[in-house]
Structure formats: structure tokens, C-alpha cells
Chains A and B, each alone.
Chain A
Amino acid sequence: MADKVLFRFLTVTDYEEEEIFLREQHKQGWKLRKYILPGFYSFDKVMPEDVVYRLDFDQAQCGGKEEYLQMYRDYGWEYLFDVNRFSYFRKPAVSAEDDMEIFSDNASRLGMVERIFKRRMIPLLIIFLCIVVPQMMIQLINWLDGGFAAAGALGIIYAALFAGYVFLFIHCGKKIIKLRKKYADLSDGRW
């Protein structure tokens, strides 16, 4: 059993906040054990320690996960688990600052932002446009036209989903623009 469970709702674009959150927890003696979507973090009680947490998004090549993890292990990172295609790593903050990063140039930091956008945001947008929006319309029309209570209930569920998605798109969209700007501004330019 975990000693503490916290709920934090962080979206796919909030990984830098998540890294800070997990480091703060560890500093207070709460070592991350497990993370379950949509936001349940369970911790074990340990001695307080400064441990850096880092997240990488879906970078391992197809069938190459072991080699990918070995690279991180070689660099002294402990691999925790994968959730939602994010790989979680941690390392005690004792070595030089350079060694506490998993990316050493802005091109690769931007690469991660792009992967999140292409592999997470675009599929969500497709689900939204092809399922949530038409279903909501159909159910609401059935309800208003035919007075079917079941359609009304479904319609309301879809409307709630619709609102959730819109909130998510606005939040993540803004965040992606911010991250892009942050790393493109400082970027070493090109390849």
C-alpha cells in the first residue's frame, strides 16, 4: 500500500509542472510509486531527498524500448514506468546541473513538443470532430424533436464532454504555443 495518494489534474502539455511537483514531493519525503490516470499519484514515505524527475514522450523506436531504457540507465537515470506514452525517470540531484537534464539542446526539447502535438493533440481533435460533435448534435436533435429522455441524457453527457474537450484544447493549445516559443526563441537555430 502506498503511504499517500494525491490528485493533480495535469494535461499532456504540463509535463514541466509535473516534474517540479514530483521533485517537491520527494524533497518532503514522498517518493513517487505509481501514477494512474487521470491524476492519482501515490507515494511512499522515505527520507527527504532532492531527486530530479524527468518525463520523455514516446521517443523509443518501434521495438527498441530496451535499448532506449538502457541509454537512460547508462546516464544514471532510474526508469519508473510509462503512463500515457510518457516515460518517467528520476535521478538524485547530486551531479552537475548538465547531467540533470534529459535533453541538451532546444532542437530536441522542441522535438518532444512536436511529438505531443502530433501524437496526442491531433488524435484527440479527430475524436472530437468525428465523434463528440456529431453525437452531441444527433442526441440533442433527437431530444428536442422527439422528446426522448434517453437522448436528452446522452445529449447532456456529450455536451459535457464537448465542454471538457474545448477546455482541454484551449489549455493545451496555449501551452504548446508557449513551449514552442520558449524553446524556439533560445534555439540553437537549426540542425
Chain B
Amino acid sequence: MYLKIEAPQRSISKEAVKVWRITETLENAGILAVLGILYYLHMRFEWKEWIGWIILGLLILTVLNAIWEILFEPTLKQKYWRYDVDEEFIQLKHGALKEVNELIPMTKVQSVELNQGPFLRKYGLYSIQIGTMGTEHAIPAIPEKEAFELRDQIAHYAKIKEVE
């Protein structure tokens, strides 16, 4: 009597793309700045040659990574993010290159939390953090009204605990 698994349907806000672009830009700029300073120090104090190569290598990798993370990844990530919540399970499906499917029984959910950083606030979004006995999961960008509803829903379902 196998049930067919319904792939999760609900997607996250399109605005997530913009938020990610901003945060990724800031993050990568930070890493570039640190590497830049290191490279400057390397030239200034004449550190060993191979250190310079490693810094240069990391710089190139960061630039390539930044192009991917700022220009391409946000759209793909948003496009593929899916989640669903019912009485029994929370289902998450995400990943641009690697498809990740997660299945979390409601009875194992320990906490639900809404988070909003400055950029999410700008677009009226929240991220939902779900804590289980083992790990933390986050659904990244959900419009305010939906987010509050979802939180209450999870909190309601999660009240039921298993006999261990």
C-alpha cells in the first residue's frame, strides 16, 4: 500500500532573488577585501612566494564564485525551491546544481522561528527556521502573511509528540 510521494508544490517569493543578489554581493565583496588586504601585505612584507600564489588562486576562485553566486545562482535557487507542510511531514526540495530532498516528521519538530534581516525586511519577507532534534532547516523567503500562517500551522502540528 505504498503512497505515491507528492513532490512539494509551494514555492518561495520571487523577491528572494533580489535579496540573495544583495547579500551575496556584500559577502563576496567582504571576502575580496580580505584577500586584497592579504595580497597587499604579501607584497609589502615579501612573504614566501607560494603564499602569493595561493592568495591569487583564491582571488580568482572568489571572482568566479561571485559571478555564479550573484548573477546565476539566485534565479535558479528560487526557481527550484519547493516546500510543503501537512499534518505528518515537512517536505523540502531545493538546490540549483544538487537536488536535495528532505523529509521531516512533524512529531520531531522542536521549534519554529521567523527571522528577518534588513534586506528581507525591505521586501517584506521572512525566513522560517525549523529546529529538529538533529538539525536546523530554513525556508528562506516567504511573504509576511504566509510566513506567519505557516509558522502557526507548523507550531500547531508539532505539538503532538511521539512516545519515545
A pairs with B: no
Which positions in A face B, CB cutoff 8 Å? none
Which positions in B face A, CB cutoff 8 Å? none
